[in-house]
Amino acid sequence: MLKTLIVYFSFGGTTARVAESIAAGLRSAGQKVELHNIREGAPRNIEGYDAIGIGTPAYYFRPAFNITEYIRSLSDLHGMQAFVFTLYGTYPGAAGNDVRKALSSAGAEEIGYFKCRGADFFNGYLREGYLFSADNPTANELALAERFGKTLAGVMSGRAYVAPPDDPEPPLMYRIERLLSGRWLVKRIYSRLFSVKRQKCTACNICVQLCPTQNISVDAAGRPVWKNNCLLCVCCEMKCPEEAITSPLSWPLFYPAILYNVNRASRDPSIPHAKVRQSRGETTRL
Ligand SMILES: Cc1cc2nc3c(=O)[nH]c(=O)nc-3n(C[C@H](O)[C@H](O)[C@H](O)COP(=O)(O)O)c2cc1C
């Protein structure tokens, strides 16, 4: 029986749902499938698997850092078949392209690429009142993901595969945003610049529990302290019930970029959106 490993990162749950659907497709073709959300860890030794699937949300027009780092930690993928899936709320940019490139540079042979929309809980957009791709993935997109899983099984059994072209490069403004949210800047600079208002923080620990990379510890008073393994998901800021946390992305410096993205995406008829209110850590649809 062929055995496939699927490793993905999911915070909001959409990438997880697509991963489950792809797994259902593979299983219906008689395969054994193992799924890991990288938040809970993932195998570094991939001996014994016939194929590996990597799933990531687009984060700042690239894959999430923990996914890129995971691929880098897998030393040699020669002889391994690999597929990629990516979720995006507005424009995926190079999220899928970068994962595909990283896998093939490590020697893997691509057998599939799938992408679809996923509800975009990016704090900057929520605060402006927009939840992009609010109801994605749809039932139809999940059915397509399952069919993708079946197709993968066919390719693993010898059916021909024609790789789709790379996704188009995003417009200049998004490439600038991608540069401004690069790994080095996040690790060395932004991760030091999160702040918490002493008088507001109740030491409830929600930010610590939610951080997908366990990047937050607490000081003697139970208030959050950030280390440098940050994905810039800003879920700590988004979910704080006291609105006590400020991420560097909330600085006025980044506001024009956020406004540009919101204006552009909200006027793009191909991107569905819902109007929302973001308050005290809760997102309410209007
Ligand atoms: C911090 C952050 C950055 C994001 N950056 C992008 C992006 O550059 N392009 C895009 O289309 N969607 C972006 N999104 C939206 C996510 O890719 C999308 O909502 C995805 O479905 C989330 O996956 P999850 O539900 O598995 O966490 C971003 C979301 C967050 C939270």
Does 193 lie in the same domain as 262? yes
Tell me the whole-structure pTM to 2 decimals: 0.97
| 75 pLDDT more than 90 | no
Q: Is residue 50 scored above 90 in pLDDT?
A: yes
Which of ligand 1's atoms lies nearest the C-alpha of 16? 26
Q: Is the pLDDT of residue 140 over 90?
A: yes
Which of 88, 125, 232, 273 has most ligand 1 atoms within 8 Å of CB, for mutation?
88
Query: What pLDDT was estimated at residue 254?
Result: 93
d(CA 121, CA 109): 33
149 and 9 in one domain? Answer: yes
User: For residue 284, what pLDDT is reported?
Assistant: 98
Tell me which residue has its CA closest to atom 25 in ligand 1.
12
Question: Per residue in 245-266, pLDDT tens?
Answer: 999 999 999 999 999 999 999 9
Average pLDDT over residues 216-232: 97
Number of domains in the chain: 2
Give 216 Cα–ligand 1 centroid separation in angstroms: 21
Question: Which pLDDT belongs to residue 281?
Answer: 97
Q: In the prediction, which pLDDT does 188 show?
A: 94
Note the pLDDT tens digit of each residue in 18-41. Answer: 999 999 999 999 999 999 999 999
> In this structure, are 105 and 241 located in the same domain?
no
Q: Ligand 1 pocket, 132 CB below 6 A?
A: no
Any atom of ligand 1 within 6 Å of the Cβ of 37:
no
Mean pLDDT across 38-61: 96
Q: Is the CB of 148 under 6 A from ligand 1?
A: no
Say if residue 73 is in the same domain as residue 181.
no
**What's the confidence (pLDDT) of residue 82?**
98
DSSP output for the chain: --EEEEEE--SSSHHHHHHHHHHHHHHHTT-EEEEEEGGG---S--TT-SEEEEEEEEETTEE-HHHHHHHHHS---TT-EEEEEEEESS--TTHHHHHHHHHHHTTPEEEEEEEEE--B--HHHHHTTEEETTTPSPHHHHHHHHHHHHHHHHHHTT----PPPPPPPPPHHHHHHHHHT-HHHHHHTGGG--EE-TTT-----HHHHH-TT--EEE-TTS-EEE-S------HHHHH-TT--EE-GGGSGGGHHHHHHHHHHHHH-TTS-EEEEEEETTEEEE-
Quick one: 212 and 138 in the same domain?
Answer: no
> The domain that contains 256 carries what CATH number?
3.30.70.20
Closest approach atom of ligand 1 to CA 137:
21
Q: Residues 7, 139: one domain?
A: yes
151 and 116 in a common domain: yes
Same-domain check for residues 254 and 182: yes
**Domain assignment of residue 17, given as a range:** 3-123+132-156
Residue 143 pLDDT level (bands cut at 50, 70, 90): very high
Q: Is the CB of 55 under 6 A from ligand 1?
A: no
| pLDDT for the residue 16 | 98
Q: pLDDT class for 157, splitting at 50, 70, 90?
A: very high
Give yes or no: residues 66 and 10 share one domain.
yes
Residue 164 lies in a domain: no
Q: Using alpha carbons only, what angle is made at residue 58 by residues 57 and 62, rounded to the nearest 5 degrees?
A: 130
pLDDT in tens, 167-210: 998 889 999 999 999 999 999 999 999 999 999 999 999 999 99
Rounded distance, CA 217 to CA 164, Å?
A: 43
Query: Would the CB of 113 count as within 6 Å of ligand 1?
Result: no
User: What does pLDDT average to over the chain?
Assistant: 97
For the residues 263-280, what does the mean pLDDT come to? 97
Together in a domain, 147 and 220: no
